[in-house]
Amino acid sequence: MGRHLLPSAILRLQEQFSELDWTYHDFPVGDKMEKMYHWPGIPEEEILICVHKSTGVQELFHRQDFFYFNFTYKGQYESHSYKYDNKITIYEGELYAGQPFAGQAMCVHNNQETIIFGVLLQKEIFFHTFLPILSTNSKLFHFFLNPATNSFSEEFIHFKIEDDCNIRALLEMMVIEYAYKQEDTQAVLKPLVLSFLMQVSRQYAAANQEPVSEKLSDRIVQYMSEHFDTVTLKDIASRFSYHPNYISTLLIREIGKSFSQILLEQRMERAVILLKGTSLSVNEIAVMLGYTNSSNFHKAFREYYHLSPREYMNTIL
């Protein structure tokens, strides 16, 4: 299917948007009830592509039980957040994304025509298929999982899509594919969504760059955080052009911890977040964190927390 199908695909998904289930459901948050959207599409579908055309609407503040990535294809709108007590304007060509349980309320003013492409992902496919690929981006990792461990989290991603990246093209391909569904559409969408999320991760990192520390030890720790699943002391030495013994001595002198201790901390921090915030099995978590087998992960976890993963989960339930 070619790009010439895009206009008709957009119209088709606009018409289908009202057929989706956008019913507000009551959901307990803390000591009060709030509104929540459940998965609006077919339960058997893990990926839903929608096109929303609005000429002026004020939503109720609500949460949702799925991940969403909204791209403003035309026009602009505002998103209101309780946590920050402010409103954010999302302009044409910008991406706004949120996680399960994070809250927002969309508002379009002055009857302005606004068209939004939405990529909606059920939690299970995100955790099992996409999160392992994105987990090396520490900031993005916490963004995606904080709401699962903190019901009051209302974080969001918001940045302009650069013209020289492939995000817009991938979104258009997904719109066409979903508008003209075939039996294998969900299978076709998975690699498109993966490419889309990797591009989002790259753009997010570029938009949220922190000043590069002049301290070698800080740069080493940052590099370890970005490659925690595969990094070795030999890798560090090659990356920064120093002997492994020098790297070891430097970390102990300036950080107060060895390479192995720092790496263990980084892995165990992520292990707890994954145990709390996802339905991933212990085996899946072990692989994601870079352990060759679950026995090594169990041993490391118990030595670090003095509990097994199962025992740890029982203490927080």
DSSP 71: E
Of 307 and 214, the structure prediction assigns the larger pLDDT to 307
Q: What are the residue ranges spanned by the domains of the chain?
A: 3-207, 216-316
Which pLDDT band holds residue 212 (cuts at 50, 70, 90)?
low
Task: Give the residue-averaged pLDDT of 11-26.
Answer: 93
Q: Which residues contact 160 (CB under 8 A, 6 or more apart)?
A: 91, 93, 94, 95, 207
Q: Which tokens sit at 27?
A: 């959901």
pLDDT at 132 over 90: no
Which has the closest alpha carbon to 131: 264, 280, 295?
A: 280
pLDDT for 221-257, tens place per residue? Answer: 988 988 888 899 999 999 999 999 999 999 999 999 9
| CA dihedral of 203, 65, 126, 134, whole degrees rounded to 10 | 30
pLDDT at 314 (0 to 100): 83
CA-to-CA separations, 109 to 16, 56, 62, 76, 180, in angstroms, rounded: 23, 5, 19, 9, 32
Query: Which residues pair with residue 106 across a beta bridge?
Result: 79
Which pLDDT band holds residue 204 (cuts at 50, 70, 90)?
confident
pLDDT for 114-123, tens place per residue? Answer: 999 999 999 9
3-207 is a CATH 2.60.120.810 domain: yes
**Element containing residue 8 per DSSP (H, E):** helix 6-17
Task: Give the residue-averaged pLDDT of 144-152.
Answer: 50
Task: Give the residue-averaged pLDDT of 137-145.
Answer: 72
Which residues in 125-140 are b (16+ Cβ under 10 Å) and which e?
Answer: bbbebbbbebbbbbeb
| CATH, domain 216-316, list 3.30.70.260, 1.10.10.60, 3.30.1380.10, 1.10.357.20 | 1.10.10.60
Query: Which residues pair with residue 88 across a beta bridge?
Result: 79
The contacts found for 257-261 with CB under 8 angstroms, 24 or more apart, are 259/224, 259/233
Which residues in 86-105 are b (16+ Cβ under 10 Å) and which e?
Answer: eeeebeebbbbbbbbbbbbb
Answer yes or no: same fold for 3-207 and 216-316: no
pTM of the predicted model as reported, rounded to 2 decimal places: 0.81
pLDDT for 55-90, tens place per residue? Answer: 676 777 888 889 999 999 999 888 876 554 567 888
pLDDT at 153 over 80: no
pLDDT at 53 over 80: yes
What is the overall mean pLDDT for the chain? 86
pLDDT at 148 (0 to 100): 41
Residue with tokens 């508002």: 107
Which has the closest alpha carbon to 251: 215, 227, 225, 226?
A: 215
Residue-wise DSSP of 18-29: TTS---EEEEEE
pLDDT at 152 (0 to 100): 39
SS3 294: helix
Which pLDDT band holds residue 202 (cuts at 50, 70, 90)?
confident
